[in-house]
Amino acid sequence: MPTLPLIAHRSLDAIVAWRNRTPVSARQFLAEVNQVAGQLPQGRHVLNLCSDRYRFAVALAACIVSGRVSLLPSTRTPETVRQMQRVSPQVFCITDQENGGADLPTFRYPESTPPPAAGQTVPEIDCDQVIAEVFTSGSTGLPVPHAKRWGSLVRNARAEAERLGVHAAHAILGTVPPQHMYGLESTVLMPWHSGAALHAGHPFYPADICAQLAELPHPRMLVTTPFHLRALLAEQTALPAVEQLLSATAPLSQDLALKAEARFGAPLHEIYGCTEAGQIASRRTATDLEWHTLPNVVLGRDAEHLWAEGGHIDAPTPLSDVIEPLGGGPKWTHFLLHGRHADLVNIAGKRTSLAYLNHQLNAIPGVLDGIFLQPEAAHAASVGRLTALVVAPGLTPAALTRALRERIDPIFLPRPLLFVDTLPRNATGKLPDQMARTLLASLQAQPANRVPS
């Protein structure tokens, strides 16, 4: 069976992580992996809830070397935990915090660390080994698992590092949780397989992001989202210099990319991918709107579907996005991305996408955050009113509506347009649809916000 190493660091003295301003060597990392692997309880499936990114990485590696599978659902709600128990009745949880687990049998990450042992070697892992299951929402509302094999994940991480020019000298800080696919790929697996060092932190607020970046040696990289970038750019103080910025999880406007590059003094690349296929393509958004597939990945199309294949992708995988291939021939490596099929809006024969509307809304000066919502019962023949939730403390509804009229067709103007103090985004900067609709329902229940039918 072909194998690939757990980590690609060339020396056991190489730095694999920075934690509490202290470098952690590959030798120490492997000692902790062996310690945790030897203490894990029975059970093949694991919910890794460690908030410290380094401890998450150690626990993930311990599960890999002991043949366990990490479950990576999109949320941690009690209902999600119940669904994970349906997937595997013997699932247990790993946590590094008091009361930080789920309603499952729980293994507490050990506080004491072992000394590095002599004669350590980097484990080789079977490329066909399933090391994780990532979940998407099925049509019935039940989570659908997608098995992730070691060989595919490693090839993906190596392709990403090659495209971005990440190497052993880099130190990488992420604002996205490692339990999210983007966070797993770019803040754990890419450091492991480029020889770089990950930062143990998971900062959310701008001051914390800046402070933790400043702890790292150069060259350093920030792996983040458009939501976190907007918050950072709202800061009036100087931002720490970095050599590389990476963004994903939501569309990034070219204007935001240009501002981020100017403030950080570094190129910003954007990653496009999906749960099923992993990372597919990248672009430098400030200078190029075209997406370029990762090494050896191509897009193909037949009469009904468009799919990605090649490279790290084990089998041709259908894509659910609206994609415009560029160039001739049956396969493409360059394309434009126009949004998701589910985001398409059709009102009175005119079409657009929620992604386009959200981009135009958030590009208005004074808008800190905002999102368009379709009526839940909207369908191709309906003439449903769009709604928008907006964080814009310095604007009036009339001023914002005037600005929108200059950017979008009047038929797509939101009614109602509701101002809020904040939007309930999650740790990856996404706004789950149900949370947005719950907020909308609470606002519309207020008499001042009711709109006549």
- Summarize pLDDT for 386-423 with one digit per residue, the tens: 899 999 999 999 999 999 988 888 888 998 899 999 99
Indicate whether 384 pLDDT > 70.
Answer: no
How many CB atoms lie under 10 A from the CB of residue 227? 23
Indicate whether 281 pLDDT > 90.
Answer: yes
**pLDDT (0 to 100) of residue 84:** 87
**pLDDT (0 to 100) of residue 376:** 66
Dmax (CA) for the chain in angstroms is: 75
Give exposure, 368-401, as e/b (b: 16+ Cβ within 10 Å). bbbbbbbeeebeeeeeebbbbbbbbeebeeeebb
Main-chain phi, psi angles of 60, to 5 degrees: -60, -45
Write down the mean pLDDT value for the chain: 89
Eight-class DSSP state of 185:
I
Question: Average pLDDT for residues 201-205, to the nearest whole number?
Answer: 93
**pLDDT (0 to 100) of residue 382:** 41
* CB proximity list for 105: less than 8 A, separation 6 or greater: 41, 43, 92, 93
% of the chain at pLDDT higher than 90:
62
- Structural domains in the chain plus CATH codes: 3-336 (3.40.50.12780), 348-448 (3.30.300.30)
Question: Average pLDDT for residues 14-20, to the nearest whole number?
Answer: 97
In terms of Cα–Cα distance, which of 278, 49, 253, 67 is closest to 153?
278
* CB proximity list for 121: less than 8 A, separation 6 or greater: none
**pLDDT (0 to 100) of residue 35:** 96
- Summarize pLDDT for 40-94 with one digit per residue, the tens: 999 999 999 999 999 999 999 999 999 999 999 877 777 778 888 888 888 999 9
**pLDDT (0 to 100) of residue 163:** 97
